[in-house]
Chain A
Amino acid sequence: MPAVSKGDGMRGLAVFISDIRNCKSKEAEIKRINKELANIRSKFKGDKALDGYSKKKYVCKLLFIFLLGHDIDFGHMEAVNLLSSNKYTEKQIGYLFISVLVNSNSELIRLINNAIKNDLASRNPTFMCLALHCIANVGSREMGEAFAADIPRILVAGDSMDSVKQSAALCLLRLYKASPDLVPMGEWTARVVHLLNDQHMGVVTAAVSLITCLCKKNPDDFKTCISLAVSRLSRIVSSASTDLQDYTYYFVPAPWLSVKLLRLLQCYPPPEDAAVKGRLVECLETVLNKAQEPPKSKKVQHSNAKNAILFETISLIIHYDSEPNLLVRACNQLGQFLQHRETNLRYLALESMCTLASSEFSHEAVKTHIDTVINALKTERDVSVRQRAADLLYAMCDRSNAKQIVSEMLRYLETADYAIREEIVLKVAILAEKYAVDYSWYVDTILNLIRIAGDYVSEEVWYRVLQIVTNRDDVQGYAAKTVFEALQAPACHENMVKVGGYILGEFGNLIAGDPRSSPPVQFSLLHSKFHLCSVATRALLLSTYIKFINLFPETKATIQGVLRAGSQLRNADVELQQRAVEYLTLSSVASTDVLATVLEEMPPFPERESSILAKLKRKKGPGAGSALDDSRRDPSSNDINGGAHGTGSAGHYSFLTSTCTFLQSTPSPSADLLGLRAAPPPAAPPATSGAGNLLVDVFSDGPAAIASLFVCKNNGVLFENQLLQIGVKSEFRQNLGRMYLFYGNKTSVQFQNFSPTTKRVAAQVDGGAQVQQVLNIECLRDFLTPPLLSVRFRYGGAPQSLTLKLPVTINKFFQPTEMAAQDFFQRWKQLSLPQQEAQKIFKANHPMDAEVTKAKLLGFGSALLDNVDPNPENFVGAGIIQTKALQVGCLLRLEPNAQAQMYRLTLRTSKEPVSRHLCELLAQQF
């Protein structure tokens, strides 16, 4: 096959390639390749020195084999040898092989560098270009170190050839991206900017890429590029297409360069200089005008190139966001594209318009295209175009069109592609919440979502509707009625059962007056779904049932019957079984008062960022929620939860909810099932003594000493005297924690009016009985003093009161962080301000055992880092303290001195009080 290979056809290579092409199977191909590899290997190893041509031929074959997807593990040396050849073709193959196959940490780099150095010094432009391409392609640090100083010089040297300048510009770009520290700014920077004025368009094209990258990091150094770029752009845009050397592509002058210049300008705000700005606006207008002119060619290439510039121009206009006139023109232009027959244009127009929608100047103009966009959502054949249409609808949504957009998106959801359903669900949920004028519309929308695309409604969505219904009492009755109706459908989605179960359990009483939805009807409706549901839903329904017993005493007997049934009490699932047992006992043991307290309506949820929005952002990356974050467009927007306030706690921790379960610790067959794992066993009731002594007891116990015991552990006995024992069990994750307090009555007499903290746990604690309290803790910001727990009760007529520090210290919110020695020291150095460090030297109070120390440090919450400190005796740890408001990075180092029985502890954190506090807390532990 002679004709196909041009130039100095390497006959052997052509034959080999034909062989490969003729292989009928993968096996045959591999066989042929292995044969060839063996041949090349023997040639390379042979005694006879190969001439340049054969070396080139074999290296070329290896390259071809590599490109077919086979790994190559030899031949590198031969390729490096080719670099020093004087023949261009041999050198070129050598560089090609190295660019494609040598990775940046190869041992051959030094040899390669040597060859490159020679070529750079050769003053032969073709050789110089090859060498520069190679540096740009490999771009390793070692190469950077060798050449970073030379390349700027070559780039701005007056006598460098154009093609060398081009290569040098992009080579420098690569080195700067890989290791910016190797490329110091200097007097060459000003001259680089002037390359924008270079006569040669290719040099300008390359230079713009370099400048765009450099100016992002050093915007001030490169400010002069704005006016140069504008004048260059203006010369291209306005000139007749003939005088642009050969950079005109189908009658469009230098399309790629124009696009790049427009991109560069997007790195800066609008030009301050009025003349420059005027010239630029003129350019932008010219581009918009040209779009309306009849095309100079019917060829699609012509319009494609023209449109590439047009889209980039519109991007720049949107970026400036300051010229209402241009923004509206841009919007109209995109509006034309929305109905263009080319799918590519429709796609790009939708995408571009999406950003246009967030500008206050063009938002209204974008809204006028709503019907076209809705039509696109319905009729486009390409899913990616439909997705863009959905994005645009989401972006252009505001109070005036929310109902229309939401209903269109709901309709689309019925036929939407599976891949984008979840996203559409999230968007509908967010829009419905954001622009809800009346909450019944919101509830309807979410229930419709569940009905249409239940599988794609994530937890966040239905949690949110529950939060909103709980927090807004004006919608509760409507919500109860609507879910009740929705549940009557013969087949309804499990998420509907969840929402229905929760809402009826809380607010079913609001519709109980209607005989069609009387309590027994509500119950049997829910229970008819029970058997079809998953464990989680059943567990939720069981809670609904116990709430029903409180709301509707008339259903008690029926529900107790359900709970008592073997399928519940002996359910294989622990959670269901526990709920059934507990609820059954609760309903039979507790008085109506207790029941009413325990099963009180849920308190309003604290306000925080909508979890749905957070999820959408996660899905789409930053900026996806922009339409919603953009509050400036709609300052009056009242969030649906506007009325509900956060916990507003004055302290630095908030107790979100305080629920309790009444536990009987008298020996009973079910005791083990109650999750009483860590409860301290009730001690034998001692003889009672006078009340006066008790109070002394409480305070002589030194709560501080006890609290320090909990710094490194989470479970134990917090307090104990003759009357009462308080056990604690806690768990922490990030900035949240949950603490179980177990109050054990050690006497045989009932405590009355028992009230720890502000919330009554239980009115009485029977002799020998135990009450459990659950505290949910959220760390809002760093704090020094732990929260206080005050417990009051009456024992034998005498009031008792005690105040304890809860074992919550800042280190509980530690997240351990693993890092390598290098990172550790780098961060250590970053925290070098004197106030960021706290240090303490102290005597050991306990035997100095490395294992115990390790356990304590781990218990403290930080990660222990091995192989960081050069002295293996020392301990080094790192972690992040998570609070709602901020995160505090902490590094610690503990140096034991066994001889002196002393320790030195050093803490460095980004916050001064935290360093000191942690240091004090931890120092007490050794």
Chain B
Amino acid sequence: MIKFFLMVNKQGQTRLSKYYEHVEINKRTLLETEVIKSCLSRSSEQCSFIEFKDFKLIYRQYAALFIVVGVNDTENEMAIYEFIHNFVEVLDEYFSRVVSLMIMFNLDKVHIILDEMVLNGCIVETNRARILAPLLILDKMSES
């Protein structure tokens, strides 16, 4: 199961966090700091999986942005690793070339996209067109 999904920049600022298990807010900040610290300290030669406390971190770096997913041992590491990329491609398609600035300004949209893809810690949808369908309806409605 996916425990949390984080987008953190190199300065350690959380850009998006989604928890699939309840974590106290003050503990979240602490956890996020530790998570980004352990990702930043790694080089590109090292593997993308980190054993962290009682779960595993799977991360990918896109320019200055890290996407980190915490999972328990029932997930396939490679599948999650590639799932992160799928998520980024969906963002890319929707925002036509995503930059980290856009994520900040469209936090609600990013949340919708993530909610379409992951529900309850499980991967629920991976088809790009279907993920974006509700958002496109939304945009159409507000344009009209």
The chain A residues found within 8 Å of chain B, CB to CB, are: 1, 4-8, 14, 17, 21, 60, 63-64, 67-69, 71, 87-89, 92-93, 96, 100, 103-104, 126, 129, 133, 136-137, 163, 166-167, 170-171, 173-174, 201-202, 205-206, 209, 245-247, 249, 254-257, 259-260, 263, 301, 304-305, 307-308, 311-312, 315, 343-344, 346-348, 381-382, 384-385
Contact = CB atoms under 8 A, between A and B. Distances in A.
Interface in B64-110: 74, 76-79, 81-83, 85-86, 94-95, 101-102, 104-109
A92 B138 contact: yes
Given A206-B124, A308-B76, 8 more contacts: A6-B139, A7-B138, A170-B122, A209-B124, A305-B82, A344-B49, A381-B43, A382-B47
B78 A311 contact: yes
A306 B60 CA distance: 18
Contact of B79 (A174, A209, A308, A381): A308
10 contacts: A4-B101, A64-B107, A69-B25, A254-B126, A255-B79, A256-B126, A259-B79, A305-B79, A348-B78, A384-B46
A347 B47 contact: yes
A774 B125 CA distance: 69
Given A60-B108, A69-B14, A301-B82, A344 B48 contact: yes
A418 B48 CA distance: 21
Which residue, of B51, B78, B128, has the highest number of chain A Cβ atoms within 10 A?
B78
B141 A304 contact: no
A67 B78 contact: no
A343 B78 CA distance: 12
Nearest to A315: B76
B126 A205 contact: yes
Contact of A133 (B79, B109, B115): B115
A202 B130 contact: yes
A7 B139 contact: yes
A255 B143 CA distance: 36
Contacts of A129: 134
A126 B137 contact: yes
Nearest to A132: B119
B69 to A, nearest CB: 13
Contacts of B125: 166, 202, 205-206
A201 B127 contact: yes
Interface string B34-47: 00000000110111
B120 A173 contact: yes
A342 to B, nearest CB: 8
A575 B48 CA distance: 52
A620 B25 CA distance: 29
B126 A88 contact: no
B29 to A, nearest CB: 5
Nearest to A103: B22
Given A7-B109, A202-B125, A170 B76 contact: no
B22 A89 contact: no
Contact of B105 (A8, A14, A133, A247): A14
A384 B47 contact: yes
A384 B108 contact: no
Given A7-B139, A64-B107, A88-B141, A260 B123 contact: yes
B122 A206 contact: yes
Contacts of B74: 263
Contacts of B17: 67
A89 B142 contact: yes
B127 A256 contact: no
A84 B64 CA distance: 40
Nearest to B111: A96
Contacts of A5: 105-106
A247 B129 CA distance: 10
A115 B80 CA distance: 34
Given A301-B82, A384-B47, A133 B108 contact: no
B120 A170 contact: yes
Nearest to A200: B130
A315 B139 CA distance: 43
A308 B49 contact: no
Contact of B81 (A171, A174, A205, A304): A304
Given A4-B101, A69-B29, A348-B78, A174 B120 contact: yes
A249 B127 CA distance: 9
A14 B106 CA distance: 9
Contacts of A202: 124-127, 130
Name the 3 nearest CB pairs between A and B, nearest first: A8-B142, A308-B78, A308-B79
Contacts of B128: 246
A308 B58 CA distance: 13
B83 to A, nearest CB: 7
B105 A67 contact: no
Contacts of B104: 17, 21
A170 B137 contact: no
A347 B25 contact: no
B25 A71 contact: yes
Given A17-B105, A104-B22, A170-B122, A255 B82 contact: yes
Contacts of A384: 46-47, 49-51
B82 A263 contact: no
Contacts of B120: 136-137, 170-171, 173-174, 209
B142 A7 contact: yes
B46 A308 contact: no
Contacts of A133: 115, 119
Which residue, of B22, B104, B137, has the highest number of chain A Cβ atoms within 10 A?
B104
A308 B115 contact: no
Contact of A311 (B16, B45, B50, B76): B76
A267 to B, nearest CB: 11
A206 B119 contact: yes
Contacts of A21: 104
